[in-house]
Chains A and B, each alone.
Chain A
């Protein structure tokens, strides 16, 4: 059903279907068809579903549009062009939509020029920014190609009049599908696609993707259940020139300042050697920092001063990230396009295919954490088809060196790590069913069948589906209150719109992206910056962190304001970037573990230094300097406690100078898995040994710690794979992450209306409301569908319970052996686990017990009389 297209079509085959006008235009612009075009154009012409996976700048978009433009021009010339939408194009970014519009209008203009008269083909963008006037114009004269976003499509599907134009669509293109498939926007879109397909039965689907895996699953996501799809895989079209760079030969015997200085020197050298460099930093704060440092360290190189009069000062370096205003971002994009910048620093915002002109080098500062993401980022260089992709990853510690070296190996050997596509998201389902009910009175069976066609809901349980219908019909409340809660009516197997307000509520609250504003950080009344809400969640009184280059101590938070005090000179206790930190992909983690295993074997077999260096050199594609650094790192570890690896889990116990006990688990499975394992363990300890424990999680492992010695292994063995989910459900019950995700889910399911009666609720207001809502919902049931979804989201999307379970199974089947060791100081591999990561506390007592405990504590400390 879904299969790879192995052979491209010939140029003749494609020429045969092209209208002479199109053909003439094409070859006036290009010498020949590109590989993606040879594979894709005919399939789209024949209206076959197709997924094209190719790097950015490989003419993917024109591949998709060539057949469609051809069809429209043919119809226009024959005088049979209808007033209907032939093609719906969807991309996740408004900016990309505007690029596409431009890239369609231009060729159409050129073809009209060749033709000598207008062709009458209309292209229009419909997004949240489109004016009412333009929308009503579209209503009367629909564009032949509609360019839109997932959210605007869902709105269009529920608008009575515009919907009429969506009943005979021939093609639907989903661009940048890799950026949608792994989050709830994609889940939402998958249902919109089914709704669109219900209106336009004959529509074919075209998916365009950058590097991604597994292609089979993404294709399945694109077309839904029971439909055919061809896959075109030209992901490795461009030649790769990738390297991992360590700024110094020895990453351990060097101060942070020294290392930083070297890093900027290298970065500057790289920029100066190239025309335009794009730098990715992983975080928004990092982006600002790098721009700032480059400008101050090398003032002459990054600022252009043109002698006057008047003297003109312009920057040769720009920052681009999601917190910047639309205007600022556009400014930087344009400057890049015009070749005015020497370098541009971005967090993740320039990963997608917005047109940014010619880039000849991409530098990644820090690990991109997944092979696919590394490829997507590095793919931004050499924008032309057969250019070489040039990428450099600069690493600043030894774990990153090993991680990025293995990542590079995977990239060179074309091993792409697999993405996780969320499934059975009940909040999204609720929103879409509400949308369908607004469209028309519909039978529940029809909706059930529709939902089951989406890849994301193919395994949906009927019980969950029915509960969502009940939820929407307000059936969780008493009969006399129901009119307040019901969004739909539900009678004799049918559902429909409850009131006129319903449409307005739906339209103004649609979408899946939660509102997340930054938390204001203040010293007294003075605002000094913002931090992520997720970062605030983890902060504890007394924590020291860096913001905008200065050091602060966290005092307390009130709503969306965090009060801090200056703490110059103190050492940060929390890394300020981890809240935005990307988790290490499971596949890449396993590959690093495999490398560890091979290294353990080499040392175990007493291989000489030379032999091992040779092995590293050829296995990892790194230079001698890097190989030596890797060698030293592993040797130290091997000598101290041995090398943990894929079949050898080491639990390292040590006591710090204050007498606090630590049990470090060398579980290199990525943070999403470690989050599950550590919480389950902490829960098991707190239940069986009645102790409070602290946990800290990183990609490479985790630790649990307590004041007294813990029976860690004993507790770890209590966790049975088949009980893991049950344990986690309890373990996350009072966690901050569940509260936050519940707020998001309640927003998506429209239980909290973010926008209502013309008023928008701030995040702070939503937070307070969602706490009240969570308490109330819990009294109905712990399985209330929206709460159930929040738990699923935490366990499956934010964390990775599926792979965590696999790890536990491997342990129970003795495929992973466990070794316990005692150390006086943490072993080399444990350094970052102890220093980095984020912490959480697992508490044992209930709320009343907690109050008594606090009471005893207060009595003891200040001695008041009973």
Chain B
């Protein structure tokens, strides 16, 4: 689905057509390990799911650059050997679909450096592709490139939307589209399948980019389609 001109939303990522840039966000590799370390013995499916989803997302595009828009790794204490290996495997997998990988620093990425060095990928605070300014979204960056950009893409928020009917309630991850000052703003869903995400109809957003999201539009993701649900304020009155 074309979410704004030149930007294709597919699976849990975005593809910038003209720039040939694919953007994904908030993979949180190692999330299950973190749960295990807290005494929650969740069996592990994350790596397998992530691998499949990435392949599904990237296979139809001709991609030059893959931007991981923050929180590649879910950091929680020390990194285990498994987590280290899996992170490198994901990077290698991405490498198979593009020429270059850019890792945007997220709030969970305090020790991403060593991994990046190992595979020669770039680590940045933000990335600019044509008219797009891509940053994690945990803080607002002020610079000339940001001022010039027409469109901003962020992650960090893990948006999801919950629908309730009668006794039943289901949650779906979603994209959000709205405005930040005079720019178009797109919020990516998290590509982490262990958690459901934050229900934006109910909870207060975390990102400073999302002060008032009532006029934002919701694009909910189901198994093989993305559905436009219109503005949040309308959904709030319905639920």
Contact = CB atoms under 8 A, between A and B. Distances in A.
Given A694-B166, A851-B170, A854-B165, A772 B203 contact: no
A773 interface: yes
A276 B65 CA distance: 82
Interface in B209-239: 220, 222-223, 227-231, 234-235, 238-239
A858 B235 contact: yes
Interface string B41-62: 1111100000000000000000
Nearest to B166: A841
Q: Which of B38, B40, B231 has the most CB of A within 10 A?
A: B40
Interface of A: 476-478, 480-481, 484-485, 505, 538, 540-541, 556, 558, 692, 694, 734, 736, 751-753, 756-757, 759, 761, 769, 772-773, 776-777, 779-780, 839-841, 843, 847-848, 850-852, 854-855, 857-858, 861-862, 864, 866
Nearest to B201: A556
A575 to B, nearest CB: 17
Given A840-B167, A841-B167, A847-B222, A773 B230 contact: no
Given A484-B41, A779-B45, A864 B228 contact: yes
Nearest to A768: B195
The 8 closest A-B pairs by CB, nearest first: A753-B39, A756-B39, A841-B166, A864-B230, A841-B167, A769-B40, A854-B163, A862-B234
A732 to B, nearest CB: 13
A476 to B, nearest CB: 6
Contacts of A736: 167
Given A772-B42, A772-B194, A858-B238, A484 B222 contact: no
Interface in B51-89: 82
A850 B170 CA distance: 8
B36 A484 contact: yes
Contact of A752 (B40, B44, B165, B223): B40
A858 B229 contact: yes
B220 A772 contact: no
Contacts of B172: 851
B128 to A, nearest CB: 32
Contacts of A780: 43
A480 B36 CA distance: 15
B40 A773 contact: yes
Interface string B185-223: 000000000110000001100000000000000001011
A753 B167 contact: no
Given A481-B44, A736-B167, A756-B38, 15 more contacts: A481-B43, A484-B41, A556-B202, A772-B194, A773-B40, A776-B44, A776-B45, A777-B43, A840-B167, A843-B165, A851-B172, A851-B220, A851-B222, A862-B238, A864-B230
Q: Which of B42, B45, B165, B234 has the most CB of A within 10 A?
A: B42
B168 interface: yes
Chain B interface size, under 10 / 10 to 19 / 20 to 34 / 35 or more: 35 or more
A752 B39 contact: yes
B118 interface: no
B142 interface: no
Contacts of A848: 222-223
14 contacts: A476-B43, A484-B41, A752-B39, A772-B35, A772-B194, A773-B42, A776-B194, A839-B167, A840-B167, A841-B167, A850-B170, A858-B234, A862-B238, A866-B228
Interface in B121-145: none
A540 B40 CA distance: 30
A841 B228 CA distance: 27
B72 to A, nearest CB: 20
B164 interface: yes
A857 B202 CA distance: 20
A472 to B, nearest CB: 11
Given A485-B43, A769-B35, A858-B234, A850 B163 contact: yes
Contacts of A505: 39
A757 B42 contact: no
A714 to B, nearest CB: 23
Contacts of B42: 769, 772-773, 776
Contacts of B195: 772
Contact of A772 (B40, B165, B229, B238): B40
Contacts of A478: 44
Contact of B170 (A756, A776, A847, A864): A847
Contact of B40 (A538, A558, A753, A861): A753
A855 B228 CA distance: 8
Given A477-B43, A485-B43, A772-B40, A861 B228 contact: no
Interface string B17-39: 00000000000000000011011
A776 B43 CA distance: 6
B40 A477 contact: no
Nearest to A557: B202
A736 B167 CA distance: 9
Contacts of A839: 167
A855 B36 CA distance: 37
Contact of B166 (A476, A477, A843): A843
A753 B42 CA distance: 11
A477 B194 contact: no
Given A481-B44, A756-B39, A776-B42, A861 B238 contact: yes
A819 to B, nearest CB: 30
A852 B229 CA distance: 10
A858 B203 CA distance: 21
B195 to A, nearest CB: 7
B107 to A, nearest CB: 20
Given A772-B35, A851-B163, A841 B40 contact: no
A226 to B, nearest CB: 36
A862 B41 CA distance: 44
B162 to A, nearest CB: 10
Contacts of A556: 202
Contacts of B164: 541
B41 A751 contact: yes
Contacts of B41: 484-485, 751-753, 773
Contacts of A480: 82
A135 to B, nearest CB: 25
A784 to B, nearest CB: 9
Q: Which of B38, B164, B223, B239 has the most CB of A within 10 A?
A: B38
Contacts of A541: 164, 239
A776 B44 CA distance: 8
Q: Which of A485, A851, A866 has the most CB of B within 10 A?
A: A851
A858 B230 contact: yes
B190 to A, nearest CB: 14
Contacts of B239: 541
A102 to B, nearest CB: 39
A855 B43 contact: no
A840 B239 CA distance: 18
A534 to B, nearest CB: 14
A558 B199 CA distance: 10
Contacts of A777: 43
A610 B223 CA distance: 70
Contacts of A757: 39
Nearest to B196: A771
A847 B225 CA distance: 13
A855 B167 contact: no
Contacts of A761: 38-39
Contacts of B228: 864, 866
B227 A852 contact: yes
Contacts of B234: 858, 862, 864
B39 A540 contact: no
Contacts of A751: 40-41
A763 to B, nearest CB: 14
A839 B203 CA distance: 27
A855 B229 contact: yes
Contacts of A851: 163, 170, 172, 220, 222, 227
A841 B194 contact: no
A576 B45 CA distance: 41
B115 to A, nearest CB: 20
